[in-house]
Chains A and B, each alone.
Chain A
Amino acid sequence: MKKHIIDFVINENRHIHAIYSLLILSPKSGEKLPKMKPGQFVQIAIDGSKTTFLRRPISINFVDYANNQLWLLVRKAGDGTSRLIDMKAGDTLNIILPLGNGFTIPNNKEAKLLLAGGGVGIAPMLYLGQVLKENGFAPQFLIGARSASDLLELEQLKSIGEVHISTEDGSMGEKGLVTTNSVLKNDVDLIYCCGPAPMMKAVAKVAKEINADCEVSLENMMACGVGACLCCVENTVKGNVCVCTEGPVFNINQLTW
C-alpha cells in the first residue's frame, strides 16, 4: 500500500478519560483519506518537545470515510503523547500513513471472531469490528480494564457487536481479567488481540488451549516506521523482523512467546 505524508487538522479532541484522548482529524487540504486496513498505524510528528524528537506511532482507531475523518485514540505516556493530548481543534499534525500490515480478514464468513482489547489496546478493535461487520461477520468484543470508568468507546463497540467486559474491581461485567472471562469458554475460531504485552501473552496462551487461531498487535519501540532503521524488531520463527513492516500484527505461531 502506498504510504502518504499528509498534514491533518484536528477537528475535535475528545478528552474521554484522564489519560486518554480521542483525536478526530481530517486532511488539511481536503484530499480524500487513503485506504487503510484495521490494525495498521500512523506516525505522527511531534513539534517542540524537549525530550522527544522521533515520530509517535499510534494505531488507527477508526476511519470515517463518509466524513473523511481519521480517529486516533491516544494514551498519555510521555512528553510526545502528552503534547498530542493537549492539542486543540484547529491545530495541525503531520502524519505518515498507513503503515504496517493489519489484521487478517478470514475467508469463512461463519468464523467466530473475538476482538480482545486491554486499555488503549481497544483502539484498533473499533475499526476492525466495523470492517468485519461490513464484510458480513458477526464480531464480538472482549474488553478489559481496571474499572468501569476506564472502559473506552464502549457505546461505539456495542453498536457493532456484542461486548464482553472484564474489570479488575468488578464494577462492570465480570470481575477479573480478560483471560478469565467466560466468553473464552465458548467456541472461538480466531482471537484478535491488542493490549499490554503480559495481557497479549496470556490471551495467546488461552488461544492455544482452546485451539483458536490468534493474531496480536505488537507495539515495540520504533524510530522510522517504514522498515529502514531496524530498531523495532521482534524475534520470530524467521529471526528478527521489523514490527513496523512485517507487523504490527503477528499470528502467534510466528512468535517465539
Chain B
Amino acid sequence: MVNLNVNIGKLALKNPVLTASGTFGYGEEFSDFIDLNRLGGFIVKGTTINHREGNPYPRMVETPSGMLNAVGLQNKGVDYFIDQIYPRIKDVDSQIVVNVSGASIDDYVAVCEKLAPLDKINAIEVNISCPNVKQGGMAFGTNAAGAAQVTKAVREAFPKTLIVKLSPNVTDITEIARAVEAEGADSVSLINTLLGMAIDVERRKPYLSTITGGLSGAAVRPVAVRMVWQVAKAVNIPVIGLGGIMNGRDAIEFMLAGATAIEVGTANFIDPTVTVKIVDYMNEYCERHGIKDINEIIGQI
C-alpha cells in the first residue's frame, strides 16, 4: 500500500491531485463522470466580491497542443457561492479550495473574510495572476511589492491555509515566490496561464475578443516544470505545480521537479475522468518503482 497523503501547510490531502481553478467548475459538473471523493481536492472557479460577467465572446481558441482563453473571471460573486453553491458541495470527502480574485486589496480581503468562517473551506488560493482582467489580477502578481502587499493583507483576513497562485509572465518568478513566502503564504501554486495571442489570418482579426489571452494545455508544460523546479529550490513552503498536466506521467514530472501537489486543468476538458486516472497512475508508479511514500519523490531533481 503506497502512501499518497501530502500536506500543504495545515491542509491535509489524501493524494496530491487537485483541479485547477476555472477548469472544474464547482466539482458538480464532473460528478457524473468521477467520484469526487477520490481527489485530493478541487479548486473552485475564481471568486470575486461582486458578480462578474467576464469578457465578451469569443473567449477561447485552440492552438497547437493548447488553448488560449479570455474568460475574465466570470462568476456570481462570493455571496452567491456561500449561499447557493457551498451548501451543495460541502459534504464531499475531499478538500475544497476557493480561488479568490480581486481588483483591489480591499476586494481580496472582503472575499477572504467571508470565506474564513466556512467549516469546509480549509484553504484559499489567491489569484494574483489572471491575465484576462483589466484591473487587479496579474497587476498584483507581476512585481514582488504588489504580490507581497496582497499576501500580507489576505494573511491577516484568512487564518487557514493560504496558497498564492503565481503568474509565469514575469522575469524572475522566484523573486515573487520569495516575496509572498515572506508575508506568510503557506504555499505557492504555479503556473497560471502564459499570456498569448493568435490571429485569424483569413479574417485578419484576433481570435479573442480581448486580443490576448492565457495559454494553457500541454504546450506550456516544459515552461511550468522549469518554473516549479526553480521556485521549489527558492522557497521553503510547499509548491503546487500546474501547467499542461495531461496524465499521470506529467504529474510525476512536476513532483520530481519539486511540487508537493499538482493541479490538473485543461486536461479535464478532454477527459473528464483524467484526475482519477492520475491518482491510479501515482499508485501504480510508486509500486513499480518500489516507493512506499510519494513524498519521497518530491524535488528529487
- Chain A interface (Cβ < 8 Å from any Cβ of B): 2-5, 45, 50-55, 96, 220-235, 239-240
> In this complex, what residue of B is CB-closest to A240?
B53
**1/0 per position for B17-34, CB-CB distance to A under 8 A?**
000001111000110110
Residue from A53, A223, A230 within 8 A of B218 (CB atoms): A53
User: In the bound complex, what is the Cα–Cα distance between A7 and B71 (angstroms)?
Assistant: 31
> In this complex, what residue of A is CB-closest to B33?
A5
Tell me, rounded to whole Å, the shortest Cβ–Cβ distance linking B245 to chain A: 14
Chain B interface, DSSP helix/strand/loop, else mixed = loop
A54 touches B22 (CB 8 A): no
Known contacts A223-B69, A228-B30, A230-B71; A53 and B57 CB within 8 A of each other = no
A53 touches B23 (CB 8 A): no
8 A-B pairs with least C-beta separation: A231-B60, A228-B25, A224-B269, A3-B32, A228-B29, A223-B269, A226-B29, A230-B71
Known contacts A54-B67, A54-B270; A233 and B62 CB within 8 A of each other = no
Tell me, rounded to whole Å, the shortest Cβ–Cβ distance linking B210 to chain A: 13
A230 touches B64 (CB 8 A): no
> In this complex, what residue of B is CB-closest to A231?
B60
A221 touches B270 (CB 8 A): no
User: In the bound complex, what is the Cα–Cα distance between A235 and B56 (angstroms)?
Assistant: 8
Given A50-B64, A220-B57, A233-B74, 14 additional A-B pairs, CB 8 A: A2-B32, A53-B66, A55-B270, A221-B58, A223-B69, A224-B268, A225-B269, A226-B29, A226-B30, A228-B23, A228-B269, A229-B23, A230-B45, A230-B74
Question: Please, could you name 23 A-B residue pairs with CB atoms under 8 Å apart, sorted by A?
Answer: A4-B32, A5-B272, A51-B64, A52-B62, A54-B270, A55-B270, A96-B272, A221-B60, A222-B60, A223-B266, A226-B25, A227-B25, A228-B23, A228-B25, A228-B29, A228-B30, A229-B60, A229-B71, A230-B45, A233-B54, A235-B56, A239-B53, A240-B54
A231 touches B23 (CB 8 A): no
A55 touches B269 (CB 8 A): yes
CB contacts (< 8 Å) of A233 on chain B: these are 54, 57, 59, 74
Known contacts A4-B32, A53-B217, A53-B218; A229 and B269 CB within 8 A of each other = yes
**1/0 per position for B267-296, CB-CB distance to A under 8 A?**
011111100000000000000000000000
B297 CB within 8 Å of chain A: no
A54 touches B269 (CB 8 A): yes
CB contacts (< 8 Å) of B54 on chain A: these are 230, 233, 240
